[in-house]
Structure 1
Amino acid sequence: MKLSRKVFIAAAMLMASSLVFAQEKETSVESEYLNDVDGDIIMTLAESDDYDNKLVALQYLQSALEEGNTSDAVVQALDRLAGEGITTQSRTNGRLANNFPEIRREACKLMAKIPTEHTKNTLVSIAVADNEPMVIAAAVRSLGEIGINNNDETVEAIRFANKRNRILNPTSSLALEVLNAFEMLADSTEDRKGMISEITYITTDYHYVTPVRQKAYKLLKSLSSTNEKKSDSDAK
């Protein structure tokens, strides 16, 4: 009698665990299916020639990322939108028809939520190729937040982007994002000479507003202090 009761309890527990496993598996499959559907919708909207459709794609992307969806389709859609009019061009009668800097800017901002080598490379490409300061600023901000700086590649790209901009069209908002990114990437930078050189230019360039130049000066002092401490430590 006792044995039969134990067998019954064990069977009940086994059935319950099987049911839970089946539900979890069903939920996982359903979630994967929905991610695929979302990805298809987003890519269709992103590839559309219509500006409003691209705005809707950005809204879908933001929701997808907030839900943890970083599927290949989501990444591809962000790549597409971040390069809209730069790496992907559509022309009508020889005229560029998809130069949408606002779309590129928002896509670059969202890329910070996917901190991967691929995303970093895309943002580096946008930072050095785009001509719009607001797009470059968004790419630079995301690069700082992602924090990947192998062989100082990211810092050098940011330095190049700001150097080109300050020669042609010095912009305080971009310079501020450059300083913020340099600050976030300083610890991972092996050779700070290029970084310090660019900060020095910002400090002394009166095309930039006073608060930006003051921030550059403070960052320069902070980096100099860090370098001195590091030199003293190495000497010991």
Structure 2
Amino acid sequence: MNFKKLVLVVAAVLLAVTCIYAQQKEVTVEEQYLSTIEDVIIKEMTKSDVRDNKLVALQYIEDALNANRISPEIQEALNSLVGEGIMNPNRENGRLINNYPDVRAKAADLMAKIPTEDSKEVLVKIVLGDTEPMVITSAIRSLGIIGINNNDDVVSTIAWTEKRFSTLNPTSSLAFEVLNAYEKLLPYTKDRNAMIQSISRIAANYQYVTPVRNRALELLKEISIK
């Protein structure tokens, strides 16, 4: 290849690279713009006093997370929505007017898509502070998926909550998610005593449906092998 042809080839390559870079830059700017608009909508819908608006915010958040768009604004919105009526009670004439367990439960489920220490800490507070089984069930499920169990704090929290509900309000769906979470957290658990005691309680509690008790027995066998 002579020098003239080499120059032409290099020029063509540089032109192609420049075009690609320009297209990527344009897409990046567009994505940033859409992300900013999305964050504004989520923020405003989250702050609204209307329950339906909070559900709209959750839909926007879910769409963003499914597209791998995660921002501090989305984390902040989920932190707020998961504690709606519990961590940020709004009262009118002494009556709680923002107790939306369906909003909290959905937010707790979505937090599994942001597996950070911050998400874990917020979910632990929900497990300890909420009273609705559906919300606590979602929070425990997400804690299992996130998989952070520093100093066995998550397992201890789940075990304490399981014991509380087994006495006051035994719920099979909650117990089932407790078992699933234990299985996921097993590799990250140093002291398994609290976990084993909790699983044994579930296995022996005939207020739970048979499949849940059988699941507990299977998990105990799995732990004994490992």
Q: Distance in 2 between matches of 1:188 and 1:89?
A: 35
- Give the unaligned 5+ runs of structure 2: none
Amino acid in structure 2 at the alignment position of 1:32: Q
Q: Go from structure 1 to structure 2 and tell me whether the alpha carbon gap of 1:10 and 1:221 turns closer, same or farther (over 3 Å shift).
A: closer
Q: Are 1:101 and 2:86 counterparts?
A: no
Residue 232 of structure 1 is matched in structure 2 by: none
Cα shift at 1:5: 4.3
Name segments (4+ residues, structure 1) moved above 3 Å. Answer: 2-6
Amino acid in structure 1 at the alignment position of 2:131: N
What does 1:85-164 align with in structure 2 at a 5 Å threshold? 85-164=85-164
TM-score by length of 2: 0.95
What does 1:167-182 align with in structure 2 at a 5 Å threshold? 167-182=167-182
Q: Distance in 1 between matches of 2:210 and 2:92?
A: 43
Residue 41 of structure 2 is matched in structure 1 by: 41
Amino acid in structure 2 at the alignment position of 1:47: K
Considering only aligned residues, what root-mean-square deviation do their CA atoms show, in Å? 1.4
Amino acid in structure 1 at the alignment position of 2:89: Q
- Alpha-carbon displacement from aligned partner over 1:43-95 (angstroms, at most 9, x marks no partner): 11011110110111111111111111111111111111111011111111121
Cα shift at 1:29: 2.1
TM-score by length of 1: 0.91
Cα shift at 1:131: 0.3
Q: Distance in 2 between matches of 1:158 and 1:51?
A: 29
Percent identity between the two aligned chains: 51
Q: Go from structure 1 to structure 2 and tell me whether the alpha carbon gap of 1:5 and 1:154 turns closer, same or farther (over 3 Å shift).
A: same
Q: Are 1:56 and 2:59 counterparts?
A: no
Cα shift at 1:9: 3.5
Cα shift at 1:151: 1.2
Residue 189 of structure 1 is matched in structure 2 by: 189
What does 1:208-223 align with in structure 2 at a 5 Å threshold? 208-223=208-223
Amino acid in structure 1 at the alignment position of 2:219: L
- Give the unaligned 5+ runs of structure 1: 227-236
Amino acid in structure 2 at the alignment position of 1:138: S
Q: Distance in 1 between matches of 2:7 and 2:199?
A: 75
- Alpha-carbon displacement from aligned partner over 1:135-180 (angstroms, at most 9, x marks no partner): 0000001111111112111111111121222222111110110011
Amino acid in structure 2 at the alignment position of 1:178: V
Q: Distance in 1 between matches of 2:130 and 2:166?
A: 14
